[in-house]
Structure 1
Amino acid sequence: MKNFVSLERVGQSYGSGRNAFVALRDIDLSIAQGEFVTLIGHSGCGKSTLLNLIAGLVPATEGVLLCAGREIRGPGPDRAVVFQNHCLLPWLTCLENVHLAVKRVFGAAEDARRLQERSVAALRLVGMDHAARKYPREISGGMKQRVGIARALAMEPKVLLMDEPFGALDSLTRAHLQDALQEIVAATGTTTIMVTHDIDEAVLLSDRIVMLGKGPAATIARILPTGLARPRRRNDLAYDARYLECRAEVMDFLHGCQEELQPAVA
């Protein structure tokens, strides 16, 4: 598979001299086209910072980041971001929220009819076409996240970046959206990078799990290929030996980091 995202000796720091805060250092990572990768680690290890670097929201202070062979120098439609907060504009309907992104990316080259078709198709992809005329205040949190994902996918990005998109949802809604995300990624073939704190979510969704060591000055400590066949059903995986092995390995890693973070007791 062709690499769509490459990070070479990437580092991120804030400030200068003795007051400099080093968030990330020596990040080397290659992600293949169509691959689903999750970033996991304790709070403060730089997961969201790394995602923001790939999104181009902040410039790296060291190293090179590439997307589809081109250097990442800022935000672009080839990379779409879904945050934990859905970020929908409350005065626009669900369809209008999606259409806003579609018009921004394709407005110069396509007519109004085609832009509308793209917007409707994106909502249909996430199962929200029935709520096209509803406003964000009229739908649930899980439905808002679906619309946020639709807006991102409507841009036809090469890479979908997700920063704990289901973190604020109840467990049942979260499970439904995890299953929906698997289907959407399978249908679109979109390269996906997601930040999560949830071990089960990471193992269920990922082709590889990237574990970041403790911060500050965090780096990649371990990369775990899950090796689980697709499509995946959570009920089937509950007793799957490889699933349980991956889950145990990530848990052991996180618990080991936690022990390192604990202050010494006199």
Structure 2
Amino acid sequence: MRLQKIWIVTLLLILAACVRPAPDSPPWNPSGADSTPGLPAVSLTGSTATASFRLLPTRLPGSPILTPTPDVPRFFPTPRSGPETYIVQAGDTLGAISLRYGVSVEALMQANGLYDPNTLAVGQTLQIPVPTPQPAGPSFKIIPDSELVYGPMSLTLDLESFIRSKAGYLASYQEDVDGETLNAAQIILRAAQNDSVNPRLLLAVLEYRSGWVTNPNSLSPDPATLAAPLGFNDNWHIGLYRQLTWAANAL
């Protein structure tokens, strides 16, 4: 038994000695002189792309205000001009049928003399009335998308410098937020970043509701705005930060 083990070990050593190591090969260089003959050399060098940041041109006084999100053409299906019939299938509900044909459940019930919207029979024939056309929505856009969300253009506004230049009540305002004393610019920026809202918009809403940005009487604003500068009277949303948080969340 011992002799058999010695023979096995000896055989393994002989096999290991017969293994020939692979020759070292140079690293692949597509642009060097070692390229395959007949094939063109490929150069991997090139100019490095650099990010560019360009401000939008300033609008001239008197020029039209153009939105960066213009309306795209919309194509609507031709509305039905007459009533239709529908045969109830298994699993149908009156609500699903009303959505399919663009009519209300009440209109379906009235057209078919139904008293219970939950009672339908398979094979029942329903009269589908002509849908009532809805009034078109306003074409006026309150604010473009780029001015609502917190995007790259939000970084172009220096809040502290802007607020300080207006010398209003906001320039000297401070508030304790989560155990930290913040000035007005820091409060607006935190509320804007938390809800991804443009700080310009929050600043404009604050000025519209309370006048804190440009109020010439910077030491004594309207007392009615001290607890709720945005006009939202609620026991929880007291102070500038919570008022801005409420507004940003609503936007």
Same fold (TM over 0.5): no
User: What TM-score, normalized by structure 1, do the two folds share?
Assistant: 0.19
User: What TM-score, normalized by structure 2, do the two folds share?
Assistant: 0.20
* Structure with the larger strand share: 1
* Structure with the larger helix share: 1
Structure number with bigger Rg: 2
